[in-house]
Amino acid sequence: MKTFRAIGLMSGTSLDGVDVADVTFSQVNANDWTFEVNHACLYHFEVSLLHRLKKAHLIPAPELMELSADLGKFYADVVKRFLEEFKISPSSFDFIASHGQTVFHQPDKGYTLQIGNGPELAVHTKIPTVLDFRSMDVALGGNGAPLIPMADHFLFQKFADSFLNLGGFSNLSFKKEQQILSFDVCPVNIVINDLMRKMGEEYDDGGAFGKLGKVDESLLRQLNALDFYKSDGPKSLGQEWVQEHVCPLLDVDVPLENSVRTFYEHIAYQISKTLDKTEVSSVLITGGGANNSFLVERIQSLSKCEIVVPEKTLIDFKEAIGFAFLGLLKWVGEVNVLSSVTGSITDSSSGVIIYP
């Protein structure tokens, strides 16, 4: 039995920090992998770095390159802290898999950009690093997203027959006629967290604030009428879409608690509609939004599907685990991105390996 040990790094559009997962993978046979999470931890961004990341899509190219280098150093510092805290030698690992921080994602225009300089990470940790998982797929005509479905169906099938991540965006993956399909459903934390920051909070703990509000039916109708929801997958979302289509709708004279409550209802409606349309019987919910009990309750109340919420490590670190697995498939030269999911012309082994 072949075994590999990897560190998965994930920092998403919700900007809550960097998820670090130390994972051991074992290959039972060609298509059968098992995994064990040895350690996992969330490291919050330094305040100054966080402010720069929030404005990354607006700054000039030289500043963006400097930010990418600084973020790469921050990732390296986080990994070194992680190793020190858990008393692990860098030599214990085969590689690091780093998603990076998405700044631009416009596959229809032929580009996607995740910053967090890979050489900085490899050099300062002395561990080979796999990164840039999306660009190859975009070059092949795909959406460059979602990517985690490959891990879903290799690692997590015992939990449910479909998989929903509630991060900055929600995405669903499932099997239909033995083909893995996946697509983004709607924005989640990228919008909720932005609304909460207007009152000085980074997120809505358990949905407590939004629960106080009332649904604004006019706003809800406008959100549900957005063109994105009229097309079938493969399809993906980026923060540019949110800025262009969602933010103007929310920039109205509506009490903040009502805006948050209405957006929860929008999320629950879009997800439940999608679950029922795909006719899946059960769904594993992970990502930061799975900790939002009010949101999960609203999804459950509107959908016929069985909702499965796993233990907290898997909720919080599934994407870091998933990217470690995508890095592993790249490491051994196997396909890690599926054309059936992204819409590209062919499957690919995507990513770049940087050696220290």
Q: Is 258 helix (H, G, I), strand (E, B) or coil?
A: helix
Residue tagged 């991060």 (tokens)? 167
For residues 100 and 70, the answer to whether their CB atoms sit within 8 Å is: no
181 closest CA partner among 167, 171, 191, 193 = 171
What b/e sequence results for 222-259 when a residue is b if at least 16 CB atoms lie within 10 Å of its CB, and e otherwise?
A: bbeeeebbeeebbbbbbbebbeeebeebbeeebebbbb
298 closest CA partner among 203, 213, 200 = 213
Domains 2-145+323-332+341-354 and 160-309 share a fold: yes
The arithmetic mean of pLDDT across residues 272-285, rounded, is 96
Where residue 252 falls among pLDDT bands split at 50, 70, 90?
confident
Complete DSSP assignment for 46-72: PHHHHHHHHTGGGS-HHHHHHHHHHHH
167 closest CA partner among 139, 197, 191 = 191
Residue tagged 């939002």 (tokens)? 292
- What is the DSSP secondary structure assignment for residue 348, as one 8-state letter? B
For residues 39 and 81, the answer to whether their CB atoms sit within 8 Å is: no
What is the CATH superfamily name and number for domain 2-145+323-332+341-354?
ATPase, nucleotide binding domain (3.30.420.40)
Residue range 283-330, pLDDT digits in tens: 999 999 999 999 999 999 999 999 999 999 999 999 999 999 999 999
The arithmetic mean of pLDDT across residues 242-250, rounded, is 96
- Check whether 30 has a pLDDT greater than 80: no
| Residue 90: cis peptide before it, omega within 30 degrees of 0 | no
For residues 260 and 254, the answer to whether their CB atoms sit within 8 Å is: no
The arithmetic mean of pLDDT across residues 124-147, rounded, is 96
Provide the mean pLDDT of the chain. 95
Complete DSSP assignment for 217-255: HHHHHHHHT-GGGGSPSS----HHHIIIIIHHHHSSS--
- CB-count burial class (<10 Å; 0-12, 13-18, 19+) for 101: buried
Residue 234 has what pLDDT?
Answer: 83
Residue 12 has what pLDDT?
Answer: 87
Q: Is 355 helix (H, G, I), strand (E, B) or coil?
A: coil
Residue range 334-345, pLDDT digits in tens: 999 999 999 999
Helix (H) / strand (E) element for 182: namely strand 179-187
- Give the pair of three-digit tokens for residue 295: 């949101």
The residues spanned by each domain of the chain are 2-145+323-332+341-354, 160-309
- Give the pair of three-digit tokens for residue 92: 């214990």
38 closest CA partner among 63, 76, 79, 7 = 7
Residue tagged 């099997």 (tokens)? 175
Residue 94 has what pLDDT?
Answer: 99
Q: What percent of the chain has pLDDT over 70?
A: 100
For residues 17 and 50, the answer to whether their CB atoms sit within 8 Å is: no
CATH of domain 160-309: 3.30.420.40
d(CA 259, CA 268): 14
